[in-house]
Amino acid sequence: MIMTNLFTLLTAAAVAAAAVLPALSPNSSVLAVRDLSPRQDLEGGFAKHCYTYSVGERGEIYGRLSGSCDDDEFFGDLHNMWLDLNQCLGNDNGDLIWQDGGNAIAKSCKNCHSRRDETQWIECECKDRKGAYQKLTSLDLNVGVRYDMDNHVLACFGHLGVRE
């Protein structure tokens, strides 16, 4: 009985995660949420090692995930560090995606920032295939950014961040 209920619950969760978003008109202004299900090639979980973190919004720090992080979850010895998200994110027709060396923020997205109350999420406006910025797109950075315990920095796809 317990196994049947667990299977039913897991099946319902999988169906919900695979739900298709309705078609949008070219003038729609919506928030697109991508990567609802985990991918095998992504290693995330940086948020449990970082006390504070945010995405740089302007100037030299634009497109960087900066944080005060530590090797353990007790935040006893915090170190400032950052990771260039151009190494981690790509643009697929206006949607942020996980892509090794995708360079989305530098090439085809603008106004990238952390969500106000959920700072592990990045939001950007990215160009579609026609070159137009038509919607706000969002991605949970905790899915693909990890804290590298060997080098004590943020990392994605084998790219290491910088510890200051």
* Residues 6 or more apart whose Cβ sits within 8 Å of residue 13: none
* Residue 140, Ramachandran bin (φ over 0: left; ψ between -120 and 50: alpha; else beta): beta
Provide the residue-wise pLDDT of the chain in tens; the chain has 164 residues. Answer: 444 443 343 334 333 333 333 333 344 344 444 444 445 567 899 999 998 999 999 888 999 999 999 987 677 889 999 999 999 999 999 999 999 999 999 999 999 999 887 889 999 999 999 999 978 999 999 999 999 999 999 999 999 999 99
DSSP lists the bridge partners of residue 31 as 136
Right CATH for 29-163 from 3.30.56.10, 3.40.50.300, 2.30.60.10, 3.40.50.920: 2.30.60.10
Name the residue ranges covered by the structural domains of the chain.
29-163
- Scanning 18-150, the segments in alpha helix (DSSP H) are 104-107
H-helix or E-strand spanning residue 3? helix 2-17
H-helix or E-strand spanning residue 7? helix 2-17
**Nearest Cα to Cα of residue 13 among 42, 39, 36:** 36
Considering the entire predicted model, what is its pTM? Answer: 0.74
